[in-house]
Amino acid sequence: MSPVQPGSPTATQDAHGTAWLTLFALAMGAFSIGTTEFSPMGLLPVIASGVHVSIPTAGMLITAYAIGVMIGAPLMTLAMSRWSRRSALIALMAIFTIGNLLSALSTNYTTLLIARLVTSLNHGAFFGLGSLVAASVVPRHKQASAVATMFMGLTIANIGGVPAATWLGQTIGWRMSFAATAALGVLTMLILRLALPAGEAGKAPNLRGELQVLARPAVLTALATTVLGAGAMFTFYTYIAPVLEHLAGATPGFVTIMLVLVGVGFSIGNVAGGRLADRSLNGSLIVFLILLVAVMLAFPLLVKTPVGTALAVVVWGLATFAVVPPLQMGVMRAAAQAPGLASSVNVGAFNLGNAVGAAAGGAAISAGLGYVAVPIVGALIAVSGLLLVLAQIALKRQAASSSTGKPRKISPTQS
């Protein structure tokens, strides 16, 4: 599975020919994965009741999924390194389908936990490889937007797939929700088979060399930023249904509507984040992390009315997903000599943040701080991510000054 180098002649040719079809197929895969990743958030009370556990314990299903992504991302990427891109992506979606079928057939909390772990194994490698493929079919100055196009499937899932799965789970049963998602996986495999060229088998990667690239300070710092950005998101998103129920008195129907609006915010933020990241990776991160901190701190006040709640979830969705394209491109560029593995590991880092956020939100609830503390804890994690971005800019400025022997000003828009 040889990654096409971004900006190559092949990439230019694809950009004028089949780029749109490639991006559509990748977006469809992202839609499917997004549906299974995010639908448990809206179904958390239903699932908890169905398997007879508390809501914080049910939240560990989301943490387990995230841990599985983190472990599976590098392992699946390396295991499929000799495969063609199409074969690898289809195989990953087969794992996705099997995992969702197992979830639908689960009879208790333990079997559901194992099923979610199986499902998660495809996630990191699919998005990692998909990001490389997306970036390879467009010119360099449009790469962040191309990655954002693939991730658009993830955001659209939150407009259509997740609310539909939530409604299905609330009216028929959460097992049926997973069964429908498995059917979506079968459809995605067919689309990938039709849309992507067969391609050639890849070569075995230089594992030691790629691991050395991942160990670089710039790469590790970029990965840490991803963890904090995702942690801020999932501290709140994991518990969005019970938070809305307790703070806003939301009914199940109102929660479903709010999940649709979250998806709208995700979609707007994804496009905005991709376009601003094409101009400045760090600049876009600073803007949207500040917005994310502000809306989460204000959330307990905004949810006092239905209109305020709607505004809060749209702005929150916009801010939280706008950081995804610059985070993904930042790692890919920092680890240019190992883009495939780095891209997959970054998706794993995103899900480490998922696990950290879910655990942090659950800890706040279990400690008796109440659901009002959940968005505040998320805001504190976002502040940590913002400080890390600012520290990276300062270090770059210092490195530039040292190399030239005189001070050199580096603004966020040059990063």
Instruction: Write down the pLDDT at residue 413.
Output: 42
What sign does the CA torsion over 190, 196, 199, 202 have? negative
What are the backbone dihedrals phi and psi of residue 83, each rounded to the nearest 5 degrees, phi first? -85, 160
Rounded (10°) angle between helices 109-120 and 85-105: 170
Instruction: Write down the pLDDT at residue 6.
Output: 43
Prediction pTM value: 0.70
Instruction: Write down the pLDDT at residue 405.
Output: 57
Instruction: Write down the pLDDT at residue 201.
Output: 57
Instruction: Write down the pLDDT at residue 7.
Output: 46
**CATH annotation of 9-414:** 1.20.1250.20
Q: Mean pLDDT, 10 residues at a time, over the chain (415 residues)?
A: 41 54 88 89 86 86 84 85 85 95 94 94 87 76 77 82 86 91 92 75 62 78 88 89 88 85 88 84 90 94 92 94 83 72 78 85 89 94 92 78 58 46
Instruction: Write down the pLDDT at residue 155.
Output: 78
Instruction: Write down the pLDDT at residue 13.
Output: 42
Q: Where are the domains of the chain?
A: 9-414
91-95 long-range contacts (CB < 8 A, ≥24 apart) are 92/122, 92/125, 92/126, 92/129, 93/29, 93/32, 93/122, 93/126, 93/185, 93/188, 93/189, 93/192, 94/185, 94/189, 95/119, 95/121, 95/122
